[in-house]
Structure 1
């Protein structure tokens, strides 16, 4: 049993991603009204941007999570908090899939380890919708440092965003703990 990370293939993964992002629980992802074709276009656009990336988290070759990364120095979200050199912006989505049962710590460990080893990464930046209690709670349990709460308004999203930060060393430590079955 293993957890791996691979880049999203916008065409091949569009139907899967569409099934995830159009579920009611994914309302905060902001794509609930998208068609499969529109999801493919969004992920194609992400792939083509130098400062953005999208990755699938796979357990035994089954996709169970999604990571988006962005460079806050180039992305407009970076204008809403005190940016630092080496920041990597992160959006995380975990699939509501029975195959993830009991494996969530491993999925999170693989994702955090992957992110912490990105070239130049010094700190992870998360900005979930403050109304998304599940995401806020997860980031708190992972030991992220709470940052500012802002009324984020960008070309893509408008939301009350609660920023959280995790430095690279903490991300590696949490990944090791989660990967060995430690509590999240």
Structure 2
């Protein structure tokens, strides 16, 4: 597991994952990160992210808007200084997904996009996701993670099940048919 996990402040996180490397998480900086994000979200492998046709300017506009909200946040995840994933968190009651299920106090929504691999490594996604879950649940007020991946995205559906998420109902959102998944804090922190 981890030899060191720290939360420098509300928005920065560092965790040394034994045998994997140092995972750091920081807020997306739209002006600085737009080229990286645009490259990631427009790849075929990111088709379920829903931004394949987005221009660079549109990607910047979306992440600048997210940066302006108090209820939604975007983070860039690095492994040993190399960008590895994009994570977005949100308050479900301030998002359309909150109209699709009974939101509980302590729920936090999460979206995850793993960046293109530098090399294919067995266990990479699991190790990275473990650090991300620790980051999201570092706030003790967060009691349950809610995710709503596209119902056709078999890779993430399988990954969430293997991570311990419990499947919920299918829901219809404006941009997709999704499957709700829930992960209680107790399942991660034991």
* TM-score, scaled relative to structure 2: 0.84
Matched, 1:124 2:141: no
Question: Which one of the candidate residues 21, 31, 40 is aligned to 2:51?
Answer: 31
Question: Which one of the candidate residues 170, 173, 177 is aligned to 1:160?
Answer: 177
Which runs of at least 4 in structure 1 moved beyond 6 Å after TM superposition? none
Partner of 1:170: 187
Partner of 1:182: none
- Report deviation, 1:107: 1.1
Which has the higher relative contact order, 1 or 2, with Cα contacts under 8 A spaced 6 or more apart?
1
Partner of 1:178: none
CA RMSD of aligned residues (A): 1.4
Partner of 1:85: 105
Q: Distance in 2 between matches of 1:10 and 1:119?
A: 28
- Report deviation, 1:98: 2.1
**Count of aligned pairs:** 169
Q: Secondary structure at the match of 2:31?
A: coil
- Report deviation, 1:168: 1.3
Q: Distance in 2 between matches of 1:100 and 1:106?
A: 13
Gaps of 5+ in 2: 1-20
Matched, 1:146 2:167: yes
Contact 1:23 1:32 in 2 (8 A): yes
Q: Secondary structure at the match of 1:120?
A: coil
Contact 1:112 1:172 in 2 (8 A): no
- Report deviation, 1:152: 2.0
* TM-score, scaled relative to structure 1: 0.87
Contact 2:91 2:109 in 1 (8 A): yes
Partner of 1:11: 31
- Report deviation, 1:169: 2.2
Q: Distance in 2 between matches of 1:152 and 1:43?
A: 20
What aligned pairs does 1:40-55 form with structure 2 within 5 A after superposition? 40-55=60-75
Gaps of 5+ in 1: 174-184
Question: Which one of the candidate residues 89, 99, 104 is aligned to 1:69?
Answer: 89
- Report deviation, 1:75: 1.4
